[in-house]
Amino acid sequence: METRKSVRSAGYLAAIVVLAVAMSSPARAQMAKAEDYPPPKPAFPGQTNAPTPSKPSPPLKVDVIIPRFNGAWALAFMPNGKMLVTERYGFIRVAEMNGFYSAPVAGVPDTKIVAAESLHDVVIDPDFAHNRMIYFTYFAPPPGETPGSWPIDVFYGNVWKASVAQRRTMRVGEERVARARLSDDERRLENVEVLVDGVNRRIVFAPDGTMFITGADRFRFYEPSYDGTDHEILDPDVLRNFTGRVVRINKDGSIPKDNPFLDQPTVLPETYSYGHRDPEGAAINPATGKLWVIEHGPLGGDKISIIKPGGNYGWPNVSYGRRYNGDLLAGKAQWQKPGVEQPVYFWYPDIAPCGMIFYTGDMFPEWKGNVLIGGMGAKSLIRLVLDGDKVVAEEHLLKELNARVREVQQGPDGAIYSLLDDGRLIRVSRK
């Protein structure tokens, strides 16, 4: 029982942007840059550096709906046209197109805010109009700890300097997925229920009604630090249980009977794929029904992948990025390896992605079937043009805003709604 509890404990991973903000100015000046090193070799033509589209997007109109959220992370549209918005400090609010947003919805579980961990995604049930159920991901404090915000060293410095044995006894917090009923007056959550531990990034409903949830690398339970290691990790159970995962569960938290690892008792039954680092965007391709996931590399190597059941996506042994000091992962350049799934596309240097959708609306017919991604490091809305499963063009939009784009959602009107790291909720429409 204790072993299983440890396996389920929350995962921890640094986004390079968070680390850079936390470090002193002299330390930042000494950090390696991806541009300082030769770019990695792609596995196939077109896997990176796609050209700009032959026909650029039409002129865009940007309207600020709400100018002042505090650490907004995700949004979800309800059938009445209102939006649920999460703020990393543990709040869910109801926002309206007229610029109003509510006081925090009551009943949200206690949240611990440390480094990149906090309250993250929110989605509504496909049958929300009848059951009013919502699903959300968050980082829970250990039992007895007061919820609140902590210095970054609580999550990183105190962890990677400790031995594995010491790490396994640290009570830092728990990544969780929960569901609840939103009250009829939209002021409180009712009947909050934890569905699964160990993941807390994005939630996506599959066409069959099951749920995919992405989770970051749980480096504290095995040898590497937050940015990889100088040697290969070969134990398959370590890779499958402690690296970043995509999990698949039913809406009530039960395990689908066709999950890929059910016949392997040393792998957690909810695990669907593994070897991820920090997957902060996920969406179903409506043309194929397949799950696509976008994730942060370390120093370079952000990537987008199609998720296969039981697939190994490489981390921490295989990556198109490097460790933050410029060293190669696992002590050698491993961009491809037998048995490791290749990304559809990767970036070097990074774009720092967060949030993605497949566009299906009518406002931008030329975008239909394209992938739209929030680029935090790129300070742009990134459009990928596809030919089947291949990226054939890349366009960076909204660069004139000079803002980190965190969340991307398509509204019922076909416009794009984005949360920016400076607190704004914007609507992007045709000019």
Task: Extract the runs of DSSP E, i.e. beta strands, from 226-315.
Answer: 244-249, 271-276, 278-284, 291-296, 302-306
Amino acid 7: pLDDT: 39
pLDDT tens string 5-51: 443 433 333 333 333 333 333 333 357 999 999 999 999 999 999 99
103-121 residue pLDDT tens:
999 999 999 999 999 999 9
What are residue 99's DSSP bridge partners?
Answer: none
pLDDT at 6: 40
What is the three-class DSSP state of 399? Answer: helix
**DSSP letter (8 states) at residue 146:** P
User: What domains can you pick out in the chain, each with its CATH number?
Assistant: 2-37+49-430 (2.120.10.30)
265: helix, strand or coil: coil
Whether 280 contacts 354, CB under 8 Å: yes
Contact predicate 310/14, CB 8 Å:
no
Taking the chain (431 residues) in runs of 10, the rounded mean pLDDT of each run is: 39 36 36 92 97 96 97 98 97 98 98 95 98 98 94 84 87 95 98 97 98 94 84 94 97 98 98 98 98 97 98 97 93 92 97 98 98 98 98 98 98 98 97 94
Return the biggest CA–CA distance within the chain: 59
